[in-house]
């Protein structure tokens, strides 16, 4: 192995553009043997994209990756893996019905001389790897019977089974328990001593003091700071993460808030796989007519789940009470929620919000067809009128109502979804990441539309992982972290640093536990 501190990998001038978004803009990064480099930044800052390029998941538009002095980027993860770069993704890439050993050696199974898989050798090698990682499981057990943290360690075993020189970890502690985190940190210490360079994406700053050497902070697709960790304090890091030149935000004049539209009390949601754990724990908030409530949280904070509970998607596993217009409400399905005046624009428009095989008109009218019925048939004139009104109101750019919705831009699709819900005359609009994947101009338009709706007396809840968005739109802000509400702000006293502080998990030990 190379000497400690020696440069093993350099990424130079990497740029990458996805449709509508510049994900990376001339980014350079250096990884050193035996060092752990922490990558920090908000969601969407470009951390995962940069790591995916280094690991060969997709090619950069420009720039190069130099491994141990040899330039050349990899065209697929397998090439990168063989060259000694291993990546552990946020979502585990394992096959749960294969055994532990089969997962570790997937695609590289040792063969005997008859061309069959040599299971005995494979299990022996796997057992040796697992012992090094302090995981006491039989390599022949099926992966599905392991807990998530153990599976994570299997993933690490798979990564180091090729003697990786560079190991990339994307939020490895987001799904595992305290003890497993301890084990993982021990493993990381060992790997560092053996000279492996580690790139580590995390939101948990407190973890880093124990394992980290260098920090790189990213924002909006650029690197905004790089320094040894010991030279950085918590607050300087947070400052770098959010410290964009704050644009002058034109916010609508505050109107006097109206009556209470929605109040939720003690909302909890059980974890589907881990009995006794919670995805949401005792959430309370209320929102008034003519007001925007912003809900901020990082990945895994429970933002989407909170909206889903309110919208009746988890009737069996959620507890707590919901009041609409001051009246207690029972919501067991989206149908109930809509009848009570709620509307939800989901985060993933294409998978959850739209029927892509239908036209603009068919999507826009889908939520209120009963109103368009006459003598048991759909009244097409009435439908055209309703859809036309929605297109005008939300300034949807489409050649015609009959245009297939898939041919519209993301911003216009989102406007159609807003139009669809407004036609149901809702009292409360729930917007989950309303501008995800939408270009800057359309973003501004969506903001303007939301503000118009609020001025008309609607109550709006905006869930977002983008701080500027939350600050632009919200009258009140609540912050979620690991399923709990950790802070509440008025617009007057909200600033990026304090919101980000409340959103970052404080210590690993505070992970949600029953009782």
Partner 1 sequence: MPPRFAKFQSLIALVLMVVAMTLLSDKFLTPDNGWNILRQISVNLCLSIGMTLIILSGGIDLSVGAILALAGAVAAGVLKNGVAIPMFDALLQFTVFGAIVCGIGVGLILGWFNGFVVTRFNIPPFVATLGMFSIARGMTMLWTGGFPITGLGAGFGYPGTGVLLGVPMPVWISVVLVAAFVIITRKTRFGRYLYAVGGNERAALLTGLRVNHIKTWVYTLGGGLAGVAGLIVTSRLDSAQPNAGLGYELDSIAAVVIGGTSLSGGRGTVLGTVLGCLIIGVLNNGLFLLNVSPFWQQIIKGFVILSAVAIDKMNTNKP
Site string for partner 1, 412-451 (x = CB under 8 A): --------x-------------------------------
Please provide residue 204's backbone torsions phi and psi, each rounded to the nearest 5 degrees: -95, 90
For 377-384, the CB contacts below 8 A with 24+ separation are none
Cβ distance 403 to 356 under 8 Å?
Answer: no
Shortest distance in whole angstroms from residue 323 CB to partner 1: 20
* Number of shown-chain residues binding partner 1 (CB under 8 A): 32
392 binds partner 1 (CB under 8 A): no
Q: Alpha-carbon distance 433 to 346, whole Å? A: 8
72 binds partner 1 (CB under 8 A): no
Site string for partner 1, 147-166 (x = CB under 8 A): --------------------
Of residues 312-331, those binding partner 1 (CB under 8 A): 313
| DSSP-derived secondary structure letter, 368 | G
Stretch of residues binding partner 1 (CB under 8 A), selected from 56-64, 252-260, 339-347, 500-508: 339-347
Which of residues 353, 410, 419, 437 is near partner 1 by CB under 8 A?
A: 353
Q: Within 395-495, where are the H helices?
A: 410-422, 440-455, 467-473
Shortest distance in whole angstroms from residue 458 CB to partner 1: 18
Shortest distance in whole angstroms from residue 90 CB to partner 1: 22
Sign, Cα dihedral of 141, 145, 149, 155: positive
Buried b (16+ CB within 10 A) or exposed e, 98-128: ebbbbbbbeeeeeeeeeeeeebeebbebbbe
Shortest distance in whole angstroms from residue 269 CB to partner 1: 17
Which of residues 334, 444, 457, 468 is near partner 1 by CB under 8 A?
A: 334
Phi-psi region of 491 (alpha: psi -120 to 50; beta: other; left: phi over 0): alpha
Which of residues 215, 287, 306, 337 is near partner 1 by CB under 8 A?
A: 337
Shortest distance in whole angstroms from residue 63 CB to partner 1: 29
Residue of 176, 144, 143, 171 lying closest to 158 (CA atoms)? 143
Give all strands of the β-sheet with 318-324 in edge-to-edge order: 278-288, 260-270, 318-324, 327-329
199 binds partner 1 (CB under 8 A): no
Q: Which is nearer to partner 1, 79 or 362 (CB)?
A: 362
Q: Which is nearer to partner 1, 378 or 514 (CB)?
A: 378
352 binds partner 1 (CB under 8 A): yes
Q: Which is nearer to partner 1, 20 or 276 (CB)?
A: 20
Residue of 107, 131, 105, 136 lying closest to 119 (CA atoms)? 105
Q: Alpha-carbon distance 394 to 420, whole Å? A: 10
Residue 428 parent element (H or E): strand 428-432
Q: Which is nearer to partner 1, 28 or 333 (CB)?
A: 333
Cβ distance 188 to 36 under 8 Å?
Answer: yes
Which of residues 128, 378, 381, 514 is near partner 1 by CB under 8 A?
A: 378
Angle at which helix 410-422 crosses helix 440-455, to 10 degrees, equals 10
Which of residues 117, 140, 356, 427 is near partner 1 by CB under 8 A?
A: 356
382 binds partner 1 (CB under 8 A): no
351 binds partner 1 (CB under 8 A): yes
Which of residues 19, 115, 370, 399 is near partner 1 by CB under 8 A?
A: 370
Cβ distance 13 to 26 under 8 Å?
Answer: yes
Which of residues 33, 80, 367, 494 is near partner 1 by CB under 8 A?
A: 367
Q: Which is nearer to partner 1, 330 or 333 (CB)?
A: 333
- Interface positions with partner 1 (CB under 8 A): 311, 313, 333-335, 337-339, 344, 346, 351-359, 362, 366-367, 369-370, 372-373, 376-378, 402, 404, 420
């Amino acid at each position: 192995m190379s000497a400690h501190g020696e440069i093993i990998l350099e990424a130079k001038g990497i740029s990458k553009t996805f449709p509508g978004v510049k994900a990376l803009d001339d980014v350079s990064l250096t990884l050193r043997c035996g060092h752990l480099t922490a990558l920090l930044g908000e969601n969407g800052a470009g951390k995962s994209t940069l790591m995916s390029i280094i690991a060969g998941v997709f090619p950069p538009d420009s720039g190069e990756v130099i491994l141990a002095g040899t330039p050349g980027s990899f065209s697929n993860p397998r090439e990168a893996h063989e060259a000694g770069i291993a990546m552990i993704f946020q979502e585990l890439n394992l096959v749960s019905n294969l055994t532990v050993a089969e997962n570790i050696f997937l695609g590289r199974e040792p063969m005997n001389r008859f061309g069959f898989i040599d299971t005995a050798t494979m299990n022996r090698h796997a057992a040796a790897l697992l012992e090094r990682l302090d995981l006491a499981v039989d390599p022949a057990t099926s992966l599905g019977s392991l807990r998530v943290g153990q599976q994570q360690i299997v993933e690490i075993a798979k990564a180091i089974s090729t003697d990786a020189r560079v190991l990339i970890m994307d939020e490895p502690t987001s799904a595992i328990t305290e003890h497993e985190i301890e084990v993982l940190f021990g493993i990381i210490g060992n790997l560092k001593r053996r000279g492996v360079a580690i790139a580590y994406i995390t939101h948990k700053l407190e973890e880093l003091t124990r394992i980290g050497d260098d920090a790189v902070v990213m924002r909006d697709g650029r690197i905004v700071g790089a320094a040894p960790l010991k030279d950085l304090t918590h607050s300087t890091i947070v400052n770098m993460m959010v410290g964009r030149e704050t644009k002058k935000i034109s916010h609508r004049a505050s109107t006097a808030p109206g009556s209470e539209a929605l109040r939720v009390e003690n909302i909890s949601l059980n974890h589907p796989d881990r009995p006794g754990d919670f995805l949401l724990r005792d959430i309370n908030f209320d929102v008034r007519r003519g007001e925007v409530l912003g809900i901020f949280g990082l990945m895994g904070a429970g933002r989407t789940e909170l909206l889903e509970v309110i919208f009746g998607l988890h009737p069996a596993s959620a507890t707590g009470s919901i009041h609409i217009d001051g009246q207690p409400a029972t919501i067991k399905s989206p149908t109930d929620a809509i009848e009570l005046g709620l509307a939800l624009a989901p985060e993933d428009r294409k998978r959850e919000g739209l029927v892509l095989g239908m036209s603009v008109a068919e999507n826009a009218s889908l939520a209120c067809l009963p109103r368009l019925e006459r003598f048991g048939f759909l009244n097409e004139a009435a439908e055209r009128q309703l859809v036309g009104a929605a297109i005008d109101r939300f300034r949807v750019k489409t050649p015609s109502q009959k245009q297939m919705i898939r041919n519209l831009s993301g911003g216009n699709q989102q406007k159609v979804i807003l139009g669809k819900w407004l036609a149901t005359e809702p009292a409360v609009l729930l917007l989950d990441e309303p501008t995800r994947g939408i270009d800057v101009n359309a973003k501004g338009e969506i903001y303007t539309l939301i503000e118009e709706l609020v001025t008309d007396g609607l109550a709006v809840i905006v869930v977002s992982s983008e701080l500027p968005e939350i600050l632009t739109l919200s009258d009140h802000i609540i912050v979620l972290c690991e399923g709990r509400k950790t802070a509440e702000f008025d617009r007057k006293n909200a600033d990026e640093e304090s919101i980000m502080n409340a959103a970052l998990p404080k210590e690993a030990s505070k992970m949600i536990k029953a009782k």
